[in-house]
Amino acid sequence: MTSHNRIKLTWISFLSYALTGALVIITGMVMGNIADYFGLPVSSMSNTFTFLNAGILISIFLNAWLMEIVPLKTQLRFGFILMILALAGLILGHSLALFSASMFVMGLVSGITMSIGTFLITHMYEGRQRGSRLLFTDSFFSMAGMIFPMLAAFLLARSLTWYWVYVCIGLIYVAIFLLTLGCQFPALGRHAAPEQQKAPKEKWGIGVLFLSIAALCYILGQLGFISWVPEYARQLGMNLNDAGRLVSNFWMSYMLGMWAFSVILRFFDLQRILTVLALLATLLMYGFITSSAPHLPWFILALGFCSSAIYTSIITLGSLQTRVASPKLVNFVLTCGTIGTMLTFVVTGPIVAHSGPQAALFTANGLYAVVFLMCLLLGFVSRHRQHASIVKQ
């Protein structure tokens, strides 16, 4: 593989995470405007976004097999067509059914692209370098989370229709499509070399189960927390811009933490530092929920930084439970995380309707505690140390 081709594949991975981050994180900022557009209460509108999350879940789950049947470049180019159709549905359609269908299609495109981006990084890099590269890739998720809430607040404050936010997100996929031109992708399944097709299969082990539970609880907790932070902040007397700034600060700190940990993780055992970070994130989230409005920015900045390496470390540790990370193993952990994405408003919507946004934040805090427990248990069964030593040899 040439250096130029590797760079293009790496940037496709970066942008795939930015696309998913923008689509998922922007929900909390535009939900109120979309609810007004369709004349629905916010708690009911939140359930509609389950179609977006369901699309992401289904595509990541199925792509574990599709990547071995349909070439990666073909998937990305077909995704470009689907993205255009979804955006046309949002702009031209005025029914809730068409909105839900467009959200589902955007979720499909996002999930396929993210699963491909994750596999490309795990395929091109090994050992601790894989973890640091995945962290830097995941920083584009948080970079989108920092930029697009501010962009949404800017557009909505000027009375522009909410769908222009999604048009801006669609430009990310235009860049992905352009990068596929003249780019060579790894061949999988029946398209791979004969010696790769005959490689022996390995058992995953119970560590993958612990990591999958941690991935589900972490994403459900994180998105359940950040999706209702704006509503919680408004209840404390903050305006829309201040609430949006809290979300942007979280993702800015998250992004900076990823850049920092992409270097730091090279010097520490991945499972041990993951356990410490999960504990710190749990305590900081509790501090945010129980503190007064003036202290919220400080707690959310610290929370974003300390939690930045958790999800990517979970994926990296999952890929290191076998000597060779297969697309199915990586996608299985991703799928479990995406189940958390799909359940975000299914779980938190009724909680908010019954007890308010603070109750949803406490639920997210409990889920972070489960992540800490799973990471602690992983230390007794993880295989990442022996496989990392094999890579070094």
What total number of domains does the chain contain? 1
| Structure tokens given for 33 | 């405007």
Q: pLDDT by residue (tens digit) across 160-179?
A: 888 899 999 999 999 999 99
Residue 136, pLDDT above cutoff 60: yes
Q: pLDDT by residue (tens digit) across 10-26?
A: 899 999 999 988 888 78
Q: pLDDT by residue (tens digit) across 316-340?
A: 888 777 776 667 787 788 888 878 8
pLDDT tier for residue 370 given thresholds of 50, 70 and 90: very high
Residue 187, pLDDT above cutoff 80: no
Residue 226 placed within a domain: yes
Give the pLDDT confidence score for residue 213 in this predicted structure. 94
CATH number for 308: 1.20.1250.20
Give the pLDDT confidence score for residue 196 in this predicted structure. 52
Residue 290 placed within a domain: yes
Residue 215 placed within a domain: yes
Residue 389, pLDDT above cutoff 70: no
**Rounded-to-integer distance, Cα 281 and Cα 285, Å:** 6
Residue 69, pLDDT above cutoff 70: yes
pLDDT tier for residue 306 given thresholds of 50, 70 and 90: very high
Map tokens 């689907």 to a residue: 82
Comparison of pLDDT for 292 and 142, the residue scoring more: 292
What range defines the domain where residue 143 resides?
A: 3-183+202-392
Give the pLDDT confidence score for residue 390 in this predicted structure. 44
Residue 235 placed within a domain: yes
Residue 248, pLDDT above cutoff 90: no
Residue 1, pLDDT above cutoff 80: no
Cβ atoms of residues 224 and 344 within 8 Å: yes
Eight-class DSSP state of 267: G
Mean pLDDT value of segment 53-74: 84
Residue 347, pLDDT above cutoff 80: yes
Mean pLDDT value of segment 206-229: 91
Residue 197 placed within a domain: no
Residue environment code for 87-125, b if the CB has 16+ CB neighbours within 10 A, otherwise e? bebbeeeeeeeebbbbbbbbbbbbbbbbbbbbbbbbbbb
Residue 188 placed within a domain: no
pLDDT tier for residue 392 given thresholds of 50, 70 and 90: very low
pLDDT tier for residue 200 given thresholds of 50, 70 and 90: low
**Rounded-to-integer distance, Cα 86 and Cα 166, Å:** 10
Residue 241 placed within a domain: yes
User: Using only C-alpha atoms, what is the Rg of the chain?
Assistant: 20
Residue 189 placed within a domain: no
Give the pLDDT confidence score for residue 305 in this predicted structure. 93
The fraction of the chain above a pLDDT of 90, given in percent, is 28
| Structure tokens given for 353 | 């309707």
Cβ atoms of residues 56 and 341 within 8 Å: yes
Residue 275, pLDDT above cutoff 90: yes
